[in-house]
């Protein structure tokens, strides 16, 4: 049954769905960044400093280690940013769900009123028909 709240309920539901999709995307991105961090950490741990050789070889390994650490730190910062955004979206989702539930409740109440009104009308119509039938049977 369509009520004056039906379109509002639909819009509120779309808002909730969109926020949920955004949260899923963020969760996926965090998961991917964690995988990248793990890969970089494995590479970092596999690098060993040369036991002998010239200083440039030692310097190259140190530079590579620093680059990997910087890359890991960059990914960790991205994760922090995404987690903050996720927390914001969770709060938005909470509010959107509350609004959606309010509108859904109002729609349900409106439907109940409409059904009650329809039953009352049907009851009146049935009474009217009964009266007409009774008059017809009395007049015959």
* Ordered domains of the chain (ranges, CATH): 4-112 (1.10.287)
DSSP 8-state secondary structure symbol assigned to residue 67: H
pTM above 0.85, yes or no: no
Q: What is the pLDDT of residues 90-137, one digit of tens each?
A: 999 999 999 999 999 999 999 999 999 999 999 998 988 888 888 877
Radius of gyration of the chain (CA): 34
Which of 106-111's residues contact partners 24+ apart within 8 Å by CB, and which partners? 106/5, 107/3, 107/5, 107/6, 107/8, 107/9, 110/3, 110/4, 110/5, 111/1, 111/3
Please check whether residue 24 is in contact with residue 13, taking contact to mean a CB–CB distance below 8 angstroms.
no
Q: Is residue 23 predicted with pLDDT exceeding 80?
A: yes
């Amino acid at each position: 049954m369509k009520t004056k709240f039906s379109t509002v309920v639909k819009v509120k539901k779309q808002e909730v769905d969109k926020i949920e999709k955004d949260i899923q995307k963020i969760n996926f991105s965090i998961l991917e960044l964690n995988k990248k961090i793990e890969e970089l950490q494995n590479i970092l741990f596999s690098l060993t400093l040369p036991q002998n050789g010239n200083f440039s070889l030692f310097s190259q390994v140190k530079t590579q280690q620093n680059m990997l650490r910087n890359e890991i730190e960059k990914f960790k910062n991205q994760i922090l940013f995404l987690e903050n955004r996720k927390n914001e979206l969770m709060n938005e989702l909470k509010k959107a769900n509350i609004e959606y539930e309010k509108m859904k409740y109002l729609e349900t109440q409106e439907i109940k009123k409409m059904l009650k009104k329809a039953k009352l009308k049907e009851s009146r119509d049935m009474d009217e028909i009964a009266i007409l039938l009774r008059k017809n049977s009395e007049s015959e």
